[in-house]
Every structure is written in C-alpha cells, then in structure tokens.
Amino acid sequence: MALARPEALTARDVVEVLSFQGGYNTNAVLVGAALLGLSAGVVGVFALLRKRSLVADAIGHATLPGIVTAFLFAVSLGGGGRSLPVLLLGAAASGALSVLCIFAILRFTRLREDAAIGIVLGVFFGLGVVLLSYVQRPENVAASPAGLHHFIYGQTAAMRAGDAMLMGGIALVGILSTVVLFKELALASFNDEYARVAGYPVGLLDGIMLLLVVLVTVAGLQAVGLILVIALLIIPPVAARMWTDRLGVLVLVAGGLGAVSGYLGAATSALLPRTPAGSVIVLCAGAVFVVSLLAAPRHGVVAVAGRRGLQRLRIAGEHLLEAAYEHAVSRRGVPTISARTLRAMEKLWGWPAWLGPVVLAGLRRRGYINRVELGYELTPSGVARGARIARNHRLWEQYLQTYADVAPGHVDWSADTVEHVLSPELVAELEAAILKAERGRP
C-alpha cells in the first residue's frame, strides 16, 4: 500500500488512514478487510456452536494445493497464472474437497474428528508444499509464481483496490447467505436432534455452513493468509460469547468484533512498514479477545469473579446473622455479634482476616446490625432475617434427613450450601410438604 513509509509516523497519518482519507486503494483495502472480518465473525459463530471451529483450520491449510494446481492449470492454458479469481476458485475447490475428506474419514473409519482434521490438514498442506516446490523450480520461473507464497501468510500490502473488492464481494456473499439461512442454521446449531425431527435437512445445513467457512477462508486468503484465516473464524465468535447468550446478539457482536479487528489490522499494516496485515489483524482480534475475556459483563473473568465474591460476602453475612440469632435463642439473650463470635466463624468457615470486617460493614449498611459496646447488636430487621435463615436451615436439615437419606452428621454442610440456592417460593412449598408429611405420620 502507498502509505508504507520509512520515516516517523505522525498523528495526522493515523487519523488520515483511519478516517478513510488515505487514498482510494487504502480505503478499498480497509473496507475489504472490515467486510472480511464481519463475514468471518458471523460465519464463525455457527462453526463454533457446531463445535467445528478447527475444521476451518483444515480448510485453510487445504486451500494450498488448490491454489497451486489452479496456477499450473492457468499456466498450461497459456495464461499468466496470476489471475486472482482463478486461484481463488482452485482454493475453494480444494477447501471443499478437504471437507469431504474429513466427512469420509468420519464415515468410513473409526477415527474421531480431531484425528480427521489433523490428517486432512497435514496431508493436504504437504501436497500443497510439494506442488509449490515444483512450481518454484528455476525452469518454471518464466511463469512467475512469486505471488503464490503470499497466500500462506497473507500480504495486504500487495493488494490492489480490485483485489480488495473481490475479497469484500466474496465476504458479502457469505454474510448474505448467513442472513438468509439464519433460522435454519440457528436451529441446526442449537438442537440438531429437534431440527432433524422437525424435518430440517441437518446434514445439508452442516454442509452449507462448512461451504460458508470455505467461502470466508477463500476471501481471507490474500489478506490474512491460509494459516491465519482460521483466527478470524474462531476468535471473534469466542470473544462475543463472553458478552451475550442470545444468538442474534452473538452474531452481531462477533461480526462487529471481526470487522473492527480487520479494519484496525489493515490500517496498522498500512501505517507501519514491515507489518504483515494478516498477523496484525489476528493480533488485533487477539487483543479484542483478551479484553472480552477479562472485562465482558456477562461471562468475563472480572464480572464472574465479582459476582462470586459478592455471593460469598452475602453467604458469610447470612451465616453471621444465623449464628447470632441461634446463639441468642439458646441463651435467651439479645442477639449480638461479639469479637468471639467472629473468631469462631473465622475458624469454622476458614474466613480470611479481611472478610469479617467487610461482612460486618455490609450488614450495617443494610441495617441488620448496630454498633454497641461489646460488638454488634442485631436490629429488629436483622433478628427477623436471622430467624428466617435459621428456619430455612432447619427446614433443609429435616428435609434431607427425611427424604434424601443423608447421614445426620453430613446434613449440616449440605443444608448450609443449599439454603442459599432455594427461592422463597420453593421454601414455602417444602415447608408445607414437610408439615403435611409430619401430620400424616402415626
């Protein structure tokens, strides 16, 4: 691309490229890469849901023999052999053939999917390398195979506007096909049993889904390369999975993350010298994934850890209220939490030193306890809450003993874990059932 310059990069260059003022060629490549990322993210969602992510890896590697064969074919017909549509057609054909080989291995041998993928990947790529080494012999140089190598790692820098449009066009076909078949693909990826019973041709849909993967792979060959194009099919969907559980949203988010990765990667590659676009696009996708894994509000590590921590605090608070209430009931005193109670709880539940004060602060804030001379005293609402927790606990102990055949010595533990899980409605139901059972007994 025109902008790969050796001198220092200025902020103006960055803004220029990112805001589509970097010239026609640059813009075409940026749009093409973004469309590629979008289509890979969208198609990749279904591959991920069908647990077929790594089939894409085999398809990517398997395009090489097709590219070289198409090149040889074109040369033998007298062409220059560098016609991109012809090469991509060859790539698509051998990519599709590799899918058939995987299915044949699964159908006719007792090998499993992981082995089938690895076999097809290695053997097809080996064949591609053999053919490539044949093409690159000195006596064949007249046919100028120089560009073929770029398909392995991708080479956006060499991409002209026309090539980028071809890439974007193929990507658009992939996106549109997915949109048209959205309902069918969704059903087949979530519940193939049901889809089969409902009369959907699940096998055919699987085939179509893999053909879409082939299509996206072929689209990405020139920009990202056949080894790394799998990253665009896997990473955005996996990252999007952290953000949402709903399929429609998942497809949109995955497509969006893919588009952003493609756009940023292509822009970086345009701005910095010696940065192969394929790698930068994949690294952008990787960064997006890391951010999603850590920060996504739904399944992100921070959010999940936060929710777990809050739940732990809540449970600890409940234990504390319960202990204070029960102690007060057995001694007929005022329910209080003394330093001794706290130490006992620390010992019993293995609380770290910081947990007690945090829990106490939380209980105080919610108005369950008040500070008094010797420690903390339960407020009326705290007493009510403690009573309720203690009752739930008893209820469960009795239930487990009566119905679930749990040894009495073990009941206390399970009762403690279970009581925090049950909804109030379920507790009421259980209570009624137990009372009824008790009354019915002789």
Partner 1 sequence: MTLSPALDLFPLLAAVLAAVSCGLLGNFLVLRKLSLMGDAMSHSVLPGLVVAFMLTGVRTAPVMFLGATLAGIATVVLVELIKRMGRVEPGAAMGVVFSVMFALGVLLIERAARNTDLDAACVLHGQLESLAWTSGAPASWWGVFGSATIQAAPPQVWTLLLTAGLSIALVVVLFKELRLAAFDPAMATAQGFSATALHYLLMIFVAGATVASFEAVGSILVIAMLIVPAATARLLTDRLPSQLLVSMAVAIGAAVLGYLGSIGVPQFFDKREVNAAGSMAVALGCLLVLAAVCGPRYGVLATAVRRTRLARNVALEDLLGRLYRGQEDESVPGRVDPRVLRRGRRRGLVERNALALTEEGRTRAAMIVRRHRLWESYLVERAGLAADHVHVTAENLEHLPETLPPDVPTDPHGKPIPPA
Residues that bind partner 1 (CB under 8 A): 48, 51, 53-54, 56-57, 61, 105, 108-112, 114-115, 117-119, 121-123, 125-134, 137, 139, 149, 152-153, 227-228, 230-231, 234-235, 237-238, 241-242, 274-276, 278-280, 282-283, 285-286, 289, 293, 299, 301
Q: How far apart are CA 363 and CA 242, in angstroms?
A: 32
Of 142 and 407, the one with the shorter C-beta distance to partner 1 is 142
Backbone angles phi, psi at 370, to 5 degrees: -125, 150
Work out how close the CB of 109 gets to partner 1 at its nearest, in angstroms, rounded to a whole number: 5
Work out how close the CB of 145 gets to partner 1 at its nearest, in angstroms, rounded to a whole number: 13
Strand spans (E) along 37-84: none
Radius of gyration, alpha carbons of the chain:
31
> How would you list the strands of the sheet with 369-372, edge to edge?
336-338, 375-378, 369-372
Of 96 and 282, the one with the shorter C-beta distance to partner 1 is 282
Of 256 and 382, the one with the shorter C-beta distance to partner 1 is 256
Backbone angles phi, psi at 337, to 5 degrees: -115, 105
Q: How far apart are CA 251 and CA 257, in angstroms?
A: 10
Of 305 and 372, the one with the shorter C-beta distance to partner 1 is 305
Work out how close the CB of 100 gets to partner 1 at its nearest, in angstroms, rounded to a whole number: 14
Of 73 and 153, the one with the shorter C-beta distance to partner 1 is 153
Q: How far apart are CA 215 and CA 409, in angstroms?
A: 62
The single residue listed with the structure tokens 């137990």 is 434
Tokens read off for 44: 């990749």
Work out how close the CB of 383 gets to partner 1 at its nearest, in angstroms, rounded to a whole number: 41
Q: Are 262 and 232 in contact (CB under 8 A)?
A: yes
Of 274 and 371, the one with the shorter C-beta distance to partner 1 is 274
Of 98 and 392, the one with the shorter C-beta distance to partner 1 is 98
Q: How many CA atoms lie within 13 A of 172 on its CB side?
A: 8
> By C-alpha distance, which of 105, 127, 100 is closest to 116?
105
Work out how close the CB of 235 gets to partner 1 at its nearest, in angstroms, rounded to a whole number: 5
The single residue listed with the structure tokens 């560009």 is 147
Instruction: Tell me how far the alpha carbon of residue 249 is from its chain's centroid.
Output: 13
Work out how close the CB of 218 gets to partner 1 at its nearest, in angstroms, rounded to a whole number: 18
Of 66 and 356, the one with the shorter C-beta distance to partner 1 is 66
Work out how close the CB of 307 gets to partner 1 at its nearest, in angstroms, rounded to a whole number: 14
Work out how close the CB of 350 gets to partner 1 at its nearest, in angstroms, rounded to a whole number: 23
Dihedral angle sign, alpha carbons of residues 429, 432, 435, 436: negative
Tokens read off for 412: 């206390």
